[in-house]
Amino acid sequence: MTGEIVRRRVVVHGRVQGVFFRDTARREASRHGVSGWARNTPEGTVEAVFEGELESVERLVGYAQEGPPEAQVERVEIFEEEVEGLAGFEAC
């Protein structure tokens, strides 16, 4: 990696569970070299952390705002966090 490394946590609201949101996020993260994780929450949202080069992380945040075709994203909360040095991406 050559650019600025950042970390963003997103909470995605809407019809986002049961539509392959997490698995698609994992594939997109792998494609863009982004580490982190995505999980369903008991509240019915998807929470995800994206860590990597700024441009790549911003692409994943953009993905979260759209989701896979079956999703209906109503809103996305975005939080800047301290980089932890994650490796790989897990859809838990």
Structural domain spans, the chain: 5-84
Is a pLDDT exceeding 70 seen at residue 90? yes
Residue with tokens 């999703």: 71
Q: Which CATH class is domain 5-84?
A: alpha beta
Instruction: Respond yes or no: is residue 22 known to be catalytic.
Output: yes
Q: Which of 9, 15, 27, 40 is catalytic?
A: 40
Examine the pLDDT at 2 and tell me if it is beyond 70.
no
Q: Is 8 a catalytic residue?
A: no
Q: Rounded to two decimals, what is the model's pTM?
A: 0.94
Q: How far is CA 3 from CA 21, 53, 89, in A?
A: 27, 5, 19
**pLDDT of amino acid 3:** 84
15-67 pLDDT tens trace: 999 999 999 999 999 999 999 999 999 999 999 999 999 999 999 999 999 99
Q: Please check whether residue 25 is in contact with residue 64, taking contact to mean a CB–CB distance below 8 angstroms.
A: yes
The catalytic residue among 8, 22, 26, 59 is 22
Amino acid type, 77: E
